[in-house]
């Protein structure tokens, strides 16, 4: 630990220099770097230092001594407590510039011209069709069940009466779920509840470290019937079992109906998914396309519908099977080949990439360094990379560029409004 850096809490007055990728204000002090939630660049603030985080310390905002002219009143009454949003206190124009800069700065750090970044594509709040909640009941016998989002950087559950980022129908269901689960959660238990708004009814997945038991199963089945949910499933460990299957939930994925497996990865909003799909289809070229980390077909389905032959690959077998069914139903099953494969462990090799005109890849936040390395040694003419993490995208983009690809354009999409998360699409060409 460096000079002046101790574990003892202390009160300091500091000036915020910048806004970090998590939405925290960053200040340099005699103690070291401080990360201050709810503080903005240019502000002079009084803080109390806390625990270690990376190369610095977390600090709690006690008072804004000199506020920024870009400070705004948060539109949500739960902002101070809920961890779902981190930057509602920033004026809208400055917020958009900050989100754009998250992508531009990540690319500049690895040697790219930040001018390659196109304007930020904004999405509307109240568009989230999927959200994850926690239901927790303390061990005390008289304790009630808390149902909501986690507080920032905490497992504490914050109950919410309304939410500006959720689709209104999802918020309505949340209120009913809170009432239903109040007596079902055992003292000391925590349930993680994922809810997706499908086209034909909501799809709920409850994850816990124990089986539901007959009483909870019956109550959840009756709730599904009463509220017209499409499906309720229960996950214990890696096993998912239906509690109530009234009909297969169907979601429009890039305009094509897909019967979605429980808990499968989906883009959080339909608006952002449409924007991503359009950018990928515009960036791809040729008749033979590989879609790596394909999921349920966000890109494979519209590419095939446009006439391309698509090789769709993902490690999630249920997602790949759903994609194959959707392609068949859509009338272009003959154009879509699928493979279930863990691309993090077994990326498509340079030899396997021969014959593809375009490769699309959309990996998890960890990125796809191994796959980028294989592409760098290939003769694929065009690569379209989708990412939810500017840092790992920039790393993978540098691998591609060092292999001879030119990064033509990167388009950021603000899918996760008022948070530090941003989606992006990059187009590379040899």
Q: Which residues are catalytic?
A: 388
Measured CA to CA, the distance from residue 269 to residue 124 in angstroms comes to 10
Per DSSP, helices labelled H in 309-389 are 317-329, 369-376
Measured CA to CA, the distance from residue 290 to residue 274 in angstroms comes to 20
Q: Return all residues near 182 (Cβ < 8 A) that are at least 6 apart.
A: 144, 145, 147
- Which DSSP category does 46 fall into? E
Q: Return all residues near 401 (Cβ < 8 A) that are at least 6 apart.
A: 111, 112, 407, 428
Residue with tokens 């690569």: 383
- Among 124, 62, 50, 66, smallest CA distance to 92 is for 124
Measured CA to CA, the distance from residue 208 to residue 204 in angstroms comes to 13
- Among 257, 157, 246, 143, smallest CA distance to 203 is for 246
Measured CA to CA, the distance from residue 187 to residue 145 in angstroms comes to 8
Measured CA to CA, the distance from residue 343 to residue 333 in angstroms comes to 23
Contact yes or no for 426/385 (Cβ under 8 A): yes
Q: What is the DSSP string of 311-334?
A: EEEES-HHHHHHHHHHHHHTT-GG
Measured CA to CA, the distance from residue 379 to residue 369 in angstroms comes to 18
Do strands 309-314 and 18-19 pair parallel, antiparallel, or not at all (unpaired)? unpaired
Count CB atoms within 10 A of the CB of residue 48: 14
What letters, b where the CB count within 10 A reaches 16 and e where it falls short, cover 373-387? Answer: bbbbebebebbbbbb
Q: Return all residues near 328 (Cβ < 8 A) that are at least 6 apart.
A: none
Contact yes or no for 301/254 (Cβ under 8 A): yes
Measured CA to CA, the distance from residue 106 to residue 104 in angstroms comes to 6
């Amino acid at each position: 630990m460096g000079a002046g850096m101790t574990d003892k809490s202390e009160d300091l007055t500091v000036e915020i220099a910048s806004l970090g990728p998590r939405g925290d204000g960053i200040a340099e002090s005699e103690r070291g770097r401080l990360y201050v939630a709810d503080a903005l660049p240019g502000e002079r603030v009084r803080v109390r230092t806390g625990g270690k985080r990376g190369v610095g310390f977390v600090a709690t905002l006690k008072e804004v001594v000199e506020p920024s002219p870009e400070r705004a009143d948060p539109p949500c009454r739960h902002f101070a407590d809920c961890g779902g949003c981190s930057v509602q206190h920033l004026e809208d124009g400055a917020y958009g510039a900050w989100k754009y800069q998250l992508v531009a700065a990540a690319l500049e750090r690895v040697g790219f011209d930040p001018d390659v970044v196109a304007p930020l594509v904004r999405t509307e709040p109240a568009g989230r069709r999927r959200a994850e909640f926690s239901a927790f009941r303390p061990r005390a016998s008289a304790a009630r069940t808390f149902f909501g989002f986690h507080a920032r950087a905490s497992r504490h559950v914050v109950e919410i009466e309304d939410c500006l980022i959720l689709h209104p129908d999802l918020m309505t269901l949340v209120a009913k779920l809170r009432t239903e689960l109040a007596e079902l959660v055992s003292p000391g238990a925590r349930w993680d509840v994922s809810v997706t708004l499908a086209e034909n009814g909501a799809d709920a997945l409850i994850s816990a470290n124990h089986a539901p038991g007959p009483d909870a199963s019956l109550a959840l089945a009756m709730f599904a019937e009463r509220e017209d949910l499409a499906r309720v499933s229960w996950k214990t460990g890696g096993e998912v079992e239906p509690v109530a299957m009234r009909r297969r939930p169907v979601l429009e994925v890039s305009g094509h109906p897909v019967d979605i497996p429980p808990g499968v990865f989906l883009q959080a909003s339909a608006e952002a998914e449409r924007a991503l799909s359009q950018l990928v289809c515009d960036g791809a070229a040729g008749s033979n396309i590989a879609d790596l980390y394909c999921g349920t077909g966000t890109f494979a389905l519209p590419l095939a519908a446009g006439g391309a032959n698509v090789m769709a690959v993902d490690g999630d077998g249920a997602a790949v099977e759903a994609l194959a069914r959707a392609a068949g139903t859509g009338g272009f099953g003959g154009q879509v080949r699928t493979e279930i494969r863990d691309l993090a462990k077994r990326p498509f090799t340079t030899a396997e990439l021969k014959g593809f005109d375009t490769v699309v890849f959309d990996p998890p936040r960890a990125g796809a360094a191994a796959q980028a390395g294989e592409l760098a040694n290939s003769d694929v003419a065009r690569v379209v990379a989708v990412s939810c993490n500017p840092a790992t995208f920039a790393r993978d983009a540098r691998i591609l560029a060092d292999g001879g690809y030119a990064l033509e354009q990167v388009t950021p999409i603000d899918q996760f409004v008022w948070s530090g998360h941003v989606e992006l699409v990059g187009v590379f060409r040899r």
